[in-house]
Amino acid sequence: MPDKLLFGLMLAGWLALFHFLGNSTIGYVKTHSLFGWMKYALGISDADSHGLYIPWVVLGFAYWKREELLAVTKEKWWPGLSILLLGAVIHCLGYLVQQTRVSIMGFFIGLYGLMGMVWGWRWLAAVFFPYCLFVFCVPLSSETERITFPMRLYATKITAFLCQSVLQIPVIHTGTMLYDAKGEYKYEIAAACSGIKSLSATTAMAIIIGFLFFKSPWRRLVTFAAAFPLAVLGNVLRLTAIIVASEAFGHEAGQYVHDSSWLSLLPYIPAIGGLIGLVVLLDDRPRPQAAPAAAVNASPDTPPPTAG
């Protein structure tokens, strides 16, 4: 790797900026460090906790692609300065309006431009994946209601249709709530059970699978776009399992399905199965050709061999 010292010095300055002037919301987290705020914000919610592991995932993929990355032609690329300045402007806006999430975006955009300045656009193209996974380092738990309310509505409507038309279980659908026919108990997809964690995990898996198995942009886009409907189907599966257990064995059984840690993995079944199906359906890798049958090297006039 050329220019390691140059990159290291520039990286140290970029990190220092966000450590000392990265966070202007001195409230729950009394620190000016962007990284201190991120550690707190990602750690207080299960929906965001995966962000603490994303840097290690990115480093793991970079190590896995190390031979490809080392083979990339590296050169100074001054247009990368514009990406660096864009990240700095985004951070300044986030700092002024006290939106630390915006500053996080500015940090990663600027770091991307910094690498481009030192090692060139070919390097940026080579590291775009796994670098794009850093988007999952932005905590979104406080935006759960805005992001997942449509998801909750779709899941409730599909579950109501499935129970009424297919399973013949009488339920009453109102908004994000389902009532049993007798009115004894209700089922609700609350904000805490909205599936934001499964949506984040499914989206991350879709990005990883799209870049690992496909080369064409449209196949990667289709794989990424499939994350939302697959996450909705996962919610439908879990809610349907709760309703079926309640109808068959009583409300306590439904509550057990709701509270069970291993049954909470049900939403990932459609996600994993659907993504595997997409890989099979959209696979564009060349198929190995069958070896031709060995030619028989014998003359038609040659008599067949006889036993000794």
Examine the domain organization and report whether 154 and 207 are in the same domain.
yes
Provide the residue count of the chain.
308
Q: Per the domain annotation, does 271 fall within a domain? A: yes
If pLDDT is split at 50, 70 and 90, which confidence band does 195 have?
A: low
Residue 172: pLDDT band (50, 70, 90) is confident
- Top mean pLDDT of 102-116, 182-196, 291-305 is at 102-116
Whole-structure pTM value: 0.78
Q: Specify the number of domains making up the chain.
A: 2
Let me know whether 167 and 45 are in one domain. no
Radius of gyration of the chain (CA): 27
What is the Cα–Cα distance from 21 to 32, expressed in whole angstroms? 6
Looking at the fold, whether 222 and 122 belong to one and the same domain comes out as no
Over residues 235-240, the mean pLDDT reads: 88
Cα–Cα distance measured from residue 212 to residue 222, given in angstroms and rounded to the nearest whole number:
14
pLDDT in tens, 206-215: 999 988 888 8
pLDDT class for 308, splitting at 50, 70, 90? very low
Mean pLDDT, residues 95-123: 96
Task: Identify whether 64 is part of a domain.
Answer: yes
Tokens of 122: 């070919």
CB 201 within 8 A of CB 266: no
Mean pLDDT, range 245-269, rounded to an integer = 83
CB 206 within 8 A of CB 226: yes
Question: 19 lies in which domain range?
Answer: 4-139
Q: Which amino acid is at 98?
A: Q
- Please, are residues 139 and 59 in contact by the beta-carbon 8 Å criterion? no
Residue 210 covered by a domain: yes
254 and 168 in a common domain: yes
> Does 227 fall in a domain?
yes
Buried b (16+ CB within 10 A) or exposed e, 45-78: bebbebbeebeebbeebeeeeeeebeeeebeebe
Q: pLDDT tens digit string along 79-94?
A: 999 999 999 999 999 9
